Chain A
Amino acid sequence: MSAAEKGQTVKERARDALGNDFLRSAVRFTTERLRLGKKLAAEEHGNWDDWRERGRQIRLHTIAHLDYYLNEFAENARANGAHVHFADTAEEAVAISLEIAKHASAKSVVKSKSMVSEELHLNQALDSIGVEAIETDLGEYIIQLANETPSHIIIPAIHKNRHQIAGLLSREAGEDLPADTAVLAGFVRTKLREKFLAADIGMTGCNFAIAETGSMVLFENEGNARMVTTVPKTQITLMGMERIIPSWSDLEVMATLLPRSATGQKLTVYMSGITGPRREQDADGPDQMHIIIIDNGRSLQLGDPEFQELLNCIRCGACLNACPVYRHIGGHAYGGTYSGPIGAVLTPALKKNVAEWDDIANASSLCGACYEACPVKIPLHDMLVYLRRRKVEAGRGNKAETLGMKGFSVVMGNAKRYRNVVRLGKLGQKLVVRNGEIRARIGPLKGWNTYRVTPELPKDSFRDRWSKVEQELYSESAPMNPEVADRLSKLMDQRKNGGHGQ
């Protein structure tokens, strides 16, 4: 159960997170590393904006014709011998998964990281019918042992230090393991090998699904997604209905954008295209393959001019690493499955539940860094403003904020779809800025201000602002743990030499 569901507000969760020094420096270190890795990789590759634009066009085109491409994918996947299922809701997807598990008389399921499966709370459901669900990404495995939820899309266990990890693994091993990375990794390899070979079902998400051939594509560094799709007899792929791209040729664009944006790598160590279950004479691969195509709130975005582009998201995490707010409070503060700027918009959008999530959109400084970072150019900062407006329209905002929002709606009335959110942000700010800082509890930055003085939104455009944000990030107040700083600089050197991230 996520923190949000325990009834904590974003503010409370952020306060918890801010109180944890290790978490703060780990998040800062990791996001910084990934953000710089991405920047270097994009620069090295060159023509980055042309690639982003191409990525955006492919995603826009696919979503605009989603009924055609999804249907084509389903037909081709069936022709390959896979069993395709459709689920409108999380509950339906869970029910289908459990039905498959029961028919396979499954005792255990090995999983590779999948945001969708977290959306579904599938592990708990499997547990309820006596099926053990084992997360096999190293980071996911660690936080599963700790009984926690991930704090970062790409690096879920950044909030755990090696001593905590050694403690968790020692409990699992039944003996004391030293806090030494090589020893811990070796233990996990042996332990998880047993689990892979014994598991009845392998379960993965799906980065992209190729309509023309019914193939599904997975990007990963560890190899556990390959294990999950190679070793067990039954395989289940959980797939958001929007994961489609038309062709393998289009995959080149996604393969160019996704790894560079996520970790600064030219390509993840493994990129696998799986087309159906094993062929009859093959000696490995699953006998039976199920693909569950899941809506769970995604279709609410279709036809909504303000939010449809959310479906273009390729889940790279670049917007998290770019976001000054995320860098301060970490993933757990957002409460949902998805954190950072994408989570702030996607979580309420998927749930269509403004009431439960009304404070999450305020955990953003509207600086536009998320848009600049996004490899498919999703205007997240615009969406955050739309979300706030909808919240006020729904009567969820307080009075002061409603006043602030008046400025927004006047402009909205004049220019149907406003592009420059920073300009609008400034409207709401005029009254409350003193000495270049925002201190009053008013306007869209309310909430956030109560525990941190936020720099004034700039009078210049957010493109100009972007370079300032970069400077700001370098001069940020909290000092970095010297050990962490040391590792960072070593990694930076490595990257300079090779260009491969993480």
Chain B
Amino acid sequence: MTNPVQPDEWLKRLEARSRAKQETFMDGIAAKLGRERVRTRPKHPFRGAPDFWKEFQLPIEDRIRQFTANFEAAGGHVVRVKNRAEASTFIVDKASEMSAGSILINDEVELSTLNLASSLPDAIVRSWNEDQDENWRAVASRSDIGIVMADYAAAYTGSLVVTSSPAKGRSVSLLPTVLMAIVPVDRMVTRLGEILVRFDEAGREQLPAGIHFISGPSRSADIENDLTIGVHGPGIVFAILVDDDSDA
């Protein structure tokens, strides 16, 4: 892995230019709006969804039902299992059924305890970023199945959320042909807003580089309006809902 390019002279020049321009740009906007620059945070009386919506909450079983209906309507697959052992069995069965030759998993404890490598001796199972010198984007692109933990899920829109970190590649949920996402049911909320507000609360410095909401298989619809699946991202997507995600 290479380190990010250190700002060189050229970037410093660009930045100086940009900072100077920023002032005239903002002054110009204020002038057009016919007032002085606004320099303190304005009161924003309409922040977020309408109030009635912020109270909307479904009980967990309804959430699961709604998530399942939405995710399946979008062309995704949903299975519900009791615990991690069952999740592992499901993944191993599917991988064998599809004759998966290469599997890429995010480097998370929950996923390593699935013991996929020993259960699938014929497949190459690799963990994201386990070797700093590897070109992980290319590995992901060659992989048949990518496996991730979902950070959150939203029932109302049927969406999974995955966030990036050194151990969690953005490519793992994107480049392989098949995506399997494990969703502990206690990570499932009713509305998008319940998840989004956490990013406001966390604040800029805590945000990961990539936050991705995924609501089904990759779809394009441009050949005579005929639906085409998986032109770019995974064409087959499983959400594996786990009731009890504890270690035992």
Contacts and interface: CB of A to CB of B under 8 A. Distances in A.
Contacts of A21: none
B121 interface: no
B230 A500 contact: no
Contact of B222 (A139, A182, A484): A139
B26 A70 contact: yes
Interface string B216-247: 11111111111111111110000000000000
Given A269-B74, A277-B4, A192 B42 contact: no
B22 A86 contact: yes
A498 B74 CA distance: 7
Contacts of A137: 220, 222
Given A67-B38, A249-B47, A498-B73, A272 B210 contact: yes
A90 to B, nearest CB: 15
Nearest to A29: B225
Nearest to B174: A226
A389 B49 CA distance: 38
Contacts of A83: 11, 14-15, 18
Question: Which of B15, B48, B197 has the most C-beta atoms of chain A within 10 angstroms of its own C-beta?
Answer: B48
A498 B26 contact: no
Contact of B218 (A269, A274, A497): A269
Contact of B171 (A61, A230, A246): A230
A423 interface: no
A499 B70 contact: yes
Interface string B48-72: 1110110000000000000001101
Interface in B1-38: 1-5, 10-11, 14-15, 17-18, 21-22, 25-30, 32-34, 37-38
A266 interface: yes
Given A84-B18, A157-B222, A256-B49, A500 B208 contact: no
A339 interface: no
A283 B169 contact: yes
A67 B37 contact: yes
A393 interface: no
A285 B209 contact: yes
Interface in A275-331: 275-285, 287-288, 293, 295, 299, 302-303
The 3 closest A-B pairs by CB, nearest first: A498-B73, A223-B233, A139-B222
Contacts of B217: 269
Contact of B199 (A68, A248, A299): A248
B211 interface: yes
Interface string A24-35: 001001100100
A79 B203 CA distance: 12
B213 A295 contact: no
B146 interface: no
Interface stretch (B85-93, B110-118, B156-164, B180-188): B156-164
Contacts of B222: 137-139, 142, 155-158
B155 to A, nearest CB: 11
B83 interface: no
Contacts of B211: 215, 272-275
Given A50-B50, A224-B232, A272-B211, 5 more contacts: A83-B15, A157-B222, A182-B228, A197-B141, A502-B227
A445 interface: no
A104 to B, nearest CB: 10
A415 to B, nearest CB: 23
A441 interface: no
Nearest to B171: A284
B192 interface: yes
A289 B121 CA distance: 40
B191 interface: yes
Interface of B: 1-5, 10-11, 14-15, 17-18, 21-22, 25-30, 32-34, 37-42, 44-50, 52-53, 69-70, 72-74, 128-129, 134, 136-138, 140-141, 156-159, 164-166, 169-171, 174-175, 191-193, 196-197, 199-200, 203-204, 207-234
Nearest to A72: B41
A50 B52 CA distance: 10
A76 interface: yes
B212 A155 contact: no
B130 to A, nearest CB: 10
A285 B215 contact: no
Interface in A245-285: 246-253, 255-256, 265-285
A185 interface: yes
B204 A76 contact: yes
B169 to A, nearest CB: 5
Contacts of B5: 287-288
Contact of A230 (B38, B156, B166, B210): B210
29 contacts: A57-B45, A85-B14, A85-B17, A85-B21, A142-B223, A155-B225, A182-B228, A189-B231, A212-B204, A221-B219, A226-B174, A230-B171, A231-B137, A231-B171, A248-B200, A252-B196, A266-B158, A270-B215, A273-B211, A274-B210, A275-B209, A278-B164, A287-B4, A295-B25, A303-B32, A303-B33, A484-B225, A487-B224, A500-B74
B212 A213 contact: no
Contacts of B218: 221-223, 269-270
A58 interface: yes
A193 interface: yes
* Most chain B Cβ neighbours within 10 Å, of A72, A85, A252: A252
A223 B47 CA distance: 29
Interface in A198-257: 212-215, 221-224, 226-227, 229-231, 241, 246-253, 255-256
Contacts of A161: 224
